[in-house]
Amino acid sequence: MTPQQFLAQVKSGNLAPVYLFAGPEMYRRRICRRMLIEKFLPEDMREEGFVRHDLDETNLREAVDDASSLSLFVSRRVVWVGAAEAAIPKGNAAEAEAAATAIVTAYVRNPAPDTVVVFDSSRLTFDSDDKTKLERLRKIFGAVKDQVEFVPYSAEEARKVASDLAAKAGLQIAPPALDALVESLGADVARIATEIEKLALFAGAGRKVTEEDIQAMAPDARATTIFALVNALSRGDRAQSLDLLETLVRDGEYLPLALTFLATQFRLALTAKEEGLRTQQQLQGHFAKLGVAMWPSRAQQVMETMNAFPRSRLEMAIRRIYQADKALRDRAPDDRIVIEDFVLALTARA
């Protein structure tokens, strides 16, 4: 089921008693949650009627038992169970997995009246790396027939949404500035929406938003600090690399997203090196044929990364990023330590 199909159910009032939300995309997920609460819960019931659990902090049995109980204060409830992927036992614990499946199945067969339960898993992606865990998640929640997939926006889709949001906010953003915004935020529409709200307050109505405005207001870590980190890594400058990581942390950068940018940067540079591309125009033309939009500034960054790293170090960097990405998907990772380990590995002397 797509988010649009879920919203259609919400608007029609024909809601299922249990849903599974899966996938990392947050913008449509927030819209779906807000619409569910607004349409299903009368305004005077929302404070008591919206209940949250997190399976990182409580177990599946306790969350389901709460959903099964009737409230003394409201006649309707929405029970939101976050971190649903935590229901997956570590390792191949078949007995624990069967027990979790039985808990979910029993509730689906006999759900509480006037209650909508949403099991929400936002950590697992639809990439091959998470395929096994996603299959296990779907097995545990197999009795839940209404499963909503939140697939990330493509760069083109994100740009279209950004343009619509800017127009709705009354902002005049030139195409290059809009491109810079989408690029700097990794096509993450949830973050794009937040930054457009900030830009609307910053620029005001009627004034054209420039790239300088975006650099002033939107987080520029991915466009500037992370690229500086790439350069420091290429030199093997451990001290400078760790200083730049400290800047990212201090600026509140979401480190898994920063790692995604690094992964993309190194993969593009490796592809360009393998294809023997030598100019910015060749890069843009090659990746355009592959359906990868690339603005001139990004092509220049890829060129510089390609020239700074020999092929062997690009391949090693990609392997290290894969290991760091797996570590970030642990149940309770320390993002900073994971990225520090990556920096230390990449700047180690041969």
pLDDT digits (tens, 9 = 90+) for 178-200: 887 887 777 889 989 988 888 88
* Residues pairing with 117 in the sheet: 18, 79
Based on the fold, state whether residues 12 and 118 are members of the same structural domain.
yes
| Percent of all residues in the chain with a pLDDT value above 90, rounded to a whole number | 51
CATH classification at residue 257:
1.20.272.10
* Mean pLDDT score, 123-137: 86
Same domain, 286 and 196: no
The whole-number pLDDT of residue 221 equals 41
- Give the torsion sign (CA, 213, 222, 230, 152): negative
Token duo for residue 318: 């990609």
Other beta carbons less than 10 A from residue 248's beta carbon: 20
What are the percentages of helix, strand and coil residues in the chain, rounded to 5?
65, 10, 30
* CATH, residue 186: 1.10.8.60
Query: Is residue 289 very low, low, confident or very high in pLDDT (cuts 50, 70, 90)?
Result: confident
Is the domain of 177 the same as that of 227?
Answer: no
Give me the mean pLDDT over the 111-124 stretch: 96
Residues 28 and 132 in one domain: yes
pLDDT classification of 102: cutoffs 50, 70, 90: very high
pLDDT at 216 over 70: no
Clarify whether residues 52 and 182 are in a common domain. Answer: no
Contacts of 98 (CB under 8 A, 6+ apart): none
Could you tell me which residues come within 8 angstroms of residue 75 by beta carbon, excluding any fewer than 6 positions away? Answer: 45, 114
For the chain, first and last CA: distance in Å? 50
Based on the domain organization, do 12 and 128 belong to the same domain? yes
Please identify, among 131, 149, 167, the residue that sits at the C-terminal boundary of a domain.
149
Chain-centroid distance, C-alpha 37: 23
Flag whether the pTM goes above 0.75.
no
pLDDT tens digit string along 248-284? 887 777 788 788 888 888 999 999 999 999 888 899 8
Q: How far apart are CA 350 and CA 343, in angstroms?
A: 14
Q: Are 340 and 253 in the same domain?
A: yes
Question: For residue 241, is it left (φ>0), alpha (ψ between -120 and 50) or beta?
Answer: alpha
Q: 163 and 134: one domain? A: no
Residue-level pLDDT at 219: 52
- For the chain, how many structural domains are there in total? 3
Domain housing 70: 3-149
- 85: domain CATH number is 3.40.50.300
